Chain A
Amino acid sequence: MAGTLDAPRYHGRWHRPRTSVFWWLESWRYTRFVLRELTSVCVAWTALVLMAYVGAAGLGAEALATFLSWMGAPWLVAWHVVVLAGLVYHSVSWFSLAPSAMVVRVGGRRVPASLIVGGNVAAWVVVSAALLWLAGRA
């Protein structure tokens, strides 16, 4: 048995195809995965902007006004529309994967995937609505 498992890793007469750097274009499902990974940049960007927003608000009205005037620049508004689309795609695709990682049992039975996705989306909507409300008051 040991002889079989410890056989040489490489053999001169085997053919060993290499994975192309464009493997993620081979199927839409791979591309979808790469898009999900890339849109995490949108999540990071949003977190940075949110922290800068809170920081500016903490420095006073003048700093907040300067920050908001920067944010109103047309190119930044256009970029943030793209960021929002990426953020929604990232969030929705992650929530749809949540049931794979989260095994919740109630009364010995596994909670259905639809309830886990629904719970995540509901929590997301509630937190987003609360943030919008807070921002509106500010």
Chain B
Amino acid sequence: MAATVTVEVARYRPERDAEPVFQQYEVPVRHEWVVLDALTHVKDEIDGSVAFRWSCRMGVCGSCGMMVNGQPTLTCASYLTDHLPGPIRIEPLRHFPVIRDLVVDLASFLRKLRRVKPWIVRDDGPVEPEGEYRQTPEELERYHQFSQCINCLLCYSACPIVGLEPDFTGPAAIALAQRYNLDSRDRGARERLEALSGDHGIWDCTFVGECTEVCPKNVDPAGAIQQYKLASALDTLRSFVLPWGK
């Protein structure tokens, strides 16, 4: 195994760079190190000015998503040894404005997320005597997969539609909307309809499928979008065939 590997880090310092430039660092290769460890080594030992986000280091917080050799990657879950002999090129997540080095602005995603109301919508108060909404394991299984999203936004970087249509609601927000639509306790499907079926909703998606490929949590956002498309199309068809029925 090589003793060191070269990492090429995209640097964008708005006070001096008109465009991002790559800076090379030589980092030791340790069997148990992930790409995030290499970045931490750079920051602690070589160049403290490199900016990047991270938090939990265990694939839960979703903060350390970056492009690694052109692929959207959770850097805390990608071993250095999988990228040898290098060099390893690290860039900020694609399709987001870059604030500095590897740090991107996430406000556009937060706006989109808020539009789809990713919470349980009820207007009738607690209906169970104990104040709980009970659920069977089968009802839980319907949405459980989509509830695993950690908002790491790798799916937005993998989706060419997000790059071409920046207002597209996007994979994670739609998957989270579907997570609540499929929840037996939720009554908000109608309130989410406009955000999902209207402009920049599900119909912008052309089913490239890369969002699902890169998802570190196997959420399958592409599946969520196609399932919503199918349900929406059937609903429209039903309203034509049975205009008087519900």
Contacts and interface: CB of A to CB of B under 8 A. Distances in A.
Contacts of B98: 14-17
Contacts of A71: none
A102 interface: yes
A39 B220 CA distance: 25
B223 A100 contact: yes
A33 interface: yes
A103 B143 CA distance: 12
Contacts, number: 73
A108 B136 CA distance: 11
Contacts of A69: none
A70 to B, nearest CB: 35
A5 B114 contact: yes
Contact of B160 (A16, A19, A97): A19
Interface in A1-26: 4-5, 7, 9-11, 13-17, 19, 23-24, 26
A27 interface: yes
Interface residues of B, number: 35
A137 interface: no
Interface in B109-141: 110-111, 114, 138
A17 B14 contact: no
A29 B213 contact: yes
A101 interface: yes
Contacts of B19: 15
A103 B160 contact: no
A45 interface: no
Contacts of A124: none
B1 interface: no
Contacts of B208: 29-30, 33
Contacts of A4: 107, 110
Interface string B70-84: 100000000000000
B230 A102 contact: yes
B102 to A, nearest CB: 12
Contacts of B99: 11, 14
A97 B207 CA distance: 9
B97 A30 contact: no
Kindly list the 7 A-B residue pairs having the minimum CB-CB distance in the complex, ordered from nearest: A19-B163, A101-B226, A13-B14, A14-B97, A100-B223, A15-B98, A33-B208
Interface of B: 12, 14-15, 19-20, 70, 94-95, 97-99, 105, 107-108, 110-111, 114, 138, 160, 163-164, 206-210, 212-213, 220, 222-223, 226-227, 229-230
